[in-house]
Structures are given as C-alpha cells and as structure tokens.
Structure 1
Amino acid sequence: MNDTPGWASPGSSPSDGHRPGTGDSADQQGPPTADEGVKWSKDQPPAGQWSAPTGAQPPGQAPPSGQGWGGTPPTGPAGGWGAGQGGYGGPGPAGGWGSPWGGPPPAAKPGVIPLRPLGVGEILDGAVSTMRVHWRTVLGISLTIAVVTQVVVILFQGLVLNDVSRTVNLDDPDVSPREVFRAMGSMLIGFGAISVIALIGTVAATALLTTVTSRAVLGRPVTTGEAWRDARPQLPRLFGLIVLLLVITFGLIVVGAVPGIVVAAAGSGTAGAALVGVGCLAGGVVAVWLMVRFSLASPTLMLEKQGIGTSMRRSTKLVRGSWWRVFGIQLLATIIANLVSSIVGLPFTFFGALAGGDGVVSLLDENAGLGWTFLVVSGIGSVIGSMITFPITAGVTVLLYVDQRIRREALDLELARAAGVQGYGTETGAGG
C-alpha cells in the first residue's frame, strides 16, 4: 500500500472472504532443520515454573516484561496455566506470550477509527471526529461549496422561479389547461435546475471530503489544496456516477408508473391512478435496493481511482451479504444529517419571513413569491446546515467502505502498514 488514499488495487484484494496477509508466512516457512532448531540452555528452571531461557541476559536478571514465554510465573493453583497475569493466554505487548485470557489486545488506532471491523457508533463517531480533528479543512471545504451553490440557488429562485409563480394563478377557475401545464412545466424545470446545482455541490463536497476522511483514517493531516489535487482527476467520473444513479432511480419509478398511465389513458381513471401508485411504490423499492448496493461506488471511485462501471461492480461486491447493515447505517446518518440541517435552518426560515415584512403566513401562499430578504436569510441557514451535513454524510459513506474492506479484504493490514504501525498483523493477529 502506498501513501495515497488509493490504498490497494481491487484486483489484489478479492472480496470473497479471503483475508490476504494472514497465513502466508506459515506456508513459506519450512520445518526447522537440525542446525536451526531451538537450543535450550543447560541451566533449566526449577520445576513448577516456565520461562524462556534468558540467552544473553546476565545471571540473575529477569527478562524484560512482556518478552519470552511468560514474563512472570503463573499464579494459578499449583502453577496452573492461564491464571493471573503471565498465564498462557495470548500475545503480550511486545509479541510474547504473557497476557491473560481476556480477548485480543486493543486494535491499533493511528487515526479516527481503530483498525478492525467497526460498529455503528464507531462509524458515526469517526465521521464526527474527522470534522473535529481536521475542522479547518473540513469546514473550509463545506463552507466554500455551500456558499457558492446557495448563491446560485438564491439568484435562480429570485430571478426565475418568482416570475414563474406570478405568471399564472393556479387557483383561478378561469385559467386554461394549457396555461396550467405551461406553468407547472416551468416550475418543474426550475426545481430541476436547482436540483442540478445542489447535485454539483454535493459531488464536489463528496469528492474532497472523501480524500480528507481517508487521510484521517491514517492519522495524517491534509490541506484543502492537497484534497483538491487528489480529487480533481476523478471529479468528471464522480459526477457521471451520481447522474447515472439518479437516472436509474427515476427510470425505475417511471417504468413502474407506465402500466397505470396506459390504463388511465384507456379510460379507466380510478384503476389507472391506483396502478400508478402501486407501480411507483414498486419501482421505488427496487430503486432503494439498487442504491444501497451501489452506495459504496463513490468512495471506491475516488480512492481506488476506478471507472464508473468498475466502481459499481466493486460496491455490489462489498455490500453483498451486508445489505441491511449498510442500509441501516446510511439511513441513520441521513436522518441525523437532515435533522441537524432542519434544526439549524428552521429559525432562519422564520426569521427571514418576519424580516421580509410579509410574515410567516406568506410562506403558505404559493402565488406570493419569495422576497429577497427571505431568500438571503434562509440561505444563510442552509449554508450553516450544509457545513454540518456534508462532512457527516460523506464521512459515514467512506468509513462504511473502509469497514467493509476490513471485513472482507483485511484492509486493516494495508492501512496499518501505510500508517507506520510496527508489527501489526503478525504479533497481534490484527484484522480478525
């Protein structure tokens, strides 16, 4: 593994449950020859004690703690095995056999997460810790992207959508169907444009914050310039990936609605409407199932420098057998992010309505339009909310990717070597 966030090539780390780096040394070592066998000292310890020969240690001096075969004599009954500290139970701090039976030693933690399979709380804590430890870089990236995208959204809402909303009064009984469809089409195009603007901002934030989170796992700082230089070559592919996933999602919903639309066009309006609802629901379920399977494609594309198709296949392979777990963690992170964003943005929304002079009631009037004061004040709340939600959602996705690769491909061994952890995976048996 090199020092870049790309870590390891997917071809060298199959996601089939095999854990590379474990067991190879045993296959390569043959049985000891007569010349290489263990040579015991002539001075053996008294009966009832078990310790390694001291070798070059001066007479009467005990070996260092944690080295050899026990460190201290067993304290169990009649010198039994495994009682007290020094019992025969597991690797000691320095690779000896001096720890009691009490589970494996703590995993190395060079960065924001321990290098072992993670729990839900550790994934969420890792995302928050990344934001806390690298707050200058994380908040700088989030603030810049949120401000740029929100300024464009405010201008578009104030200059385009307000004019569209005032063009036709949809509550007017004398309005013609053509005018209604034209107004609705213009509004849909406007909201679609806002969605595209937000999508571009999300893509940029995801790309840059993926690099930051991957470095945080190794315990290494990263500047905004370094994150940009590393992420820039993959930005077009990442944008293409997200657009493709959106097309798949809406395509499945539309396909599910087609039978109902056909039935409604044939004259059975009630049955057609019911069939449209059922079809959209079925298409939405399939879309959610696919989106969870492809949810790790974004960090795969950014960190492994893969193409769109390869990243989607890799994500499917990593999620296989863990769909519900990945879905639950992603759903929890989304709920937390949206809740935080709503809590932050709601006061700005009400204050903006009051400062605009029309009051909160104006928000319920679809034909009143949105004043510039309201748009600016509520936009400030959206920027602050995005500064918090961008790092959480991107961090959880990246750490889920890391966790799945640790579970399936022993990525913890690669990460430990890249972070400079000495002896990781040999003495401690890490990665299990």
Structure 2
Amino acid sequence: MGSRESDNKNIMETVLFEIAGHTITVIESLAIGLGLALFLLLVLLVVLLRSARQRQYEAASDAVRAAEMERHLADMMRVQSEMTGRMQTMSEIFGTRTSDLARVLTERIDASSHRVNQSMTESRSKTEETLSKLHERLAVIDKAQSNITQLSGEIVSLQSILSNKQQRGAFGQGRMEAIIADGLASNAYNFQVTLSNGSRPDALIHMPNDAPSLVIDAKFPLESWQRINEAENPEALKAAMTGFRNDCWVHIKAISEKYLIAGETQDTAFMFVPSESIFADLHERFEDIVQRAARARVVIVSPSLLMLSIQVIQALLRDVRMREQAHVIQKEVMALLEDVGRLDERVNKLKSHFTQTQNDVDQILISTGKVTKRSERIEALDFEEKPRIAD
C-alpha cells in the first residue's frame, strides 16, 4: 500500500515536457487540463446562457409578433365583417335600385307604348282625315277641271264672237248694260235713246234733281288693239300703235262732238273699255290718249270703274229720295214722339198702381203678423183643470 502511493506520487511528479525552461509534470498537466476544462465549461455555460437569452428574446419577439398578428387578424376579421355588412347593404341597395329601375323602365315603356299607340291612332285618324280631304279636293279639282274645260269652250266661243265686229260691239254693249242694270233702278237709265241732235248713245244715266244726264259709250276700237297684239316685228308694232292712237282719237272726238250737249247731257261723257287689262295697258303705254280724252271731257272707264261710278250715282239717287221724303220722315218722327209721350204717361200710371199694390201688401203683412202673434199667445195659455180640494 505504501509503495503504491509512492508510485503514484512518483508518477504525478514525472516530467512530461519543458516549455521555456519550465518543466511540466503530470500533475501540472492535469491541473492545466482541468483548468482548461473548467474554462471551456464556463465558456459553454456563457454560450448556453446567451443562447437561452436569445431564445427567450426570440420567444418574446415571437409572442409580440403573434400578438400583433392576432391583432391584425382581428382587425382583418372586423374589416371583413364590415365589408360583408357593407356588401350586404350594397346588395340590398342594388336590389332595391334594380327593382326601382325595372319598375321605372316598365312604366316608361308602358307610357311610351301608350304614346306610340296614341300617336299611331292620331296619325291614322289624321291620315284618314287627310285622305278624305284629299278626295274632296280631288273632287273639287275634277269639278274645276270640268269647269275649265267648259270655260275653254266658252273662251273659244268668245274668241269667235270677238272676231266679228258686230258681235264684238254687242259683247261690250252687253257687259256695260249688265253693270248698269245691276246697280240702278229701271227708271234711272235708258239704252239706245235718241238725243236732240239725232245721235244715239249706248246708255244714258238720269241724274237727280233734274240735272243733265250722263252719256256712256261702249264702242271701242278693238280691231286696232288686236293688231298691236298680232304685230310680229317692231315696224308692224309701231304702225299698229299709231293706228290705234288715231282710231282712239277719232272715237274720242266723235263722243265729244255728238254726246256733249249743253243743258241736255253732262259736260263729261264716259268711254267704256270692256277689259281691265286693256284699261291698264292704256294708262301704261298710251298715256297721251288718256290725257287727250280728259282734255276733250271724255273719261275712259273700265268695268270696275263703271261699277264704282254706278254705285256713287245710286247713293246720290238714294240721298235725293231721302231728301224728297224728309217731310214724311219728320211727320213720322213727330208721331213717334207722341207715342213715346203716351207710353211714358201710361208707365207712370202703372208705376203708381204698383206703388199702391205694394202699400196694400205691406198692410196685409202687418195684419197677418198681428194674427200670428195673437195665435201664439193663445197657444201659450194653460187650459188644464186644477184639482179640487176635498171638503
């Protein structure tokens, strides 16, 4: 036993190696190894502590991140629920709006259909009315066309009449006589009457108040006028116009010399032109003829001017007749005034009768009022018997 401990001691003191003049024994090497082991253990503990702290920090961080994620998740869930509610609300609103829109569209379509149907009905009625009016107008046009055809035949006959000198004179004479006969009484004119000098004017109008009569001549140089219209070149037109002027002047001079008789006829005579167009052309292209006729106291008149003159003469004759009957009118007015006086007297008498009747009615109403009051008082009396007191 003692030898073993000495052997162990010797082993522990055995030199292993020498470093920088210092010997390293077994025990020293063991001590160094133990120190290194302790140092490594401390280093390992420090590393483990640091790794534990790191894991705790990471765990805390993970916990914070988890909390934040849970909070974000909660927020997302809340937002999702809000979005779901909003989507439901929007869906309801959209459904309501869609139904409203569909209803409005249906109403508008119905209204449009009604308006279209009404418009079509109105258009159809208007079309039918227009067609009926068109048929009526076509009938009128057909009638007018037949009248035009008839008028064309009459114009042809009129041309044949105007181609004959005697018939042409009869046409102008007939138109003048128709205008005079339509406007005056039968005793206010004469046709083809002989004057004191033996001349025979076409018409003689009797003026009022024993004034001289008015002479009207219906002869007009239509042959010369037709030659103007038939002229084919300027030379022929000039010759025709010269011949027309000469013929007109000869006719105007004859009227002035034969028909203007002092004390028997007016100092002015009428020369009747049976056409308004000829009359207008005379004043437009032959002003010298009109002036010469005026100086010769001959007035050129158209059918319208003759009609106006006849109306003026008719008014004068009516005025003269009224003046002649003035005393009769005055007598009738006096009688009318007497009748009005008698009517006023009788109205006053009737008024007095009405006044007396009103007074009588008022007295009757007073009497009936008194009778009514007395009857009311009688009705208010008490006629019931009072009970007797026993003896």
Q: TM-score range by the shorter chain?
A: under 0.3
Structure with the larger RCO, 1 or 2 (CA within 8 Å, 6+ apart): 1
Structure showing greater Rg: 2
Structure ranking higher in helix proportion:
2
Structure ranking higher in strand proportion:
2
TM-score by length of 2: 0.20
TM-score by length of 1: 0.18
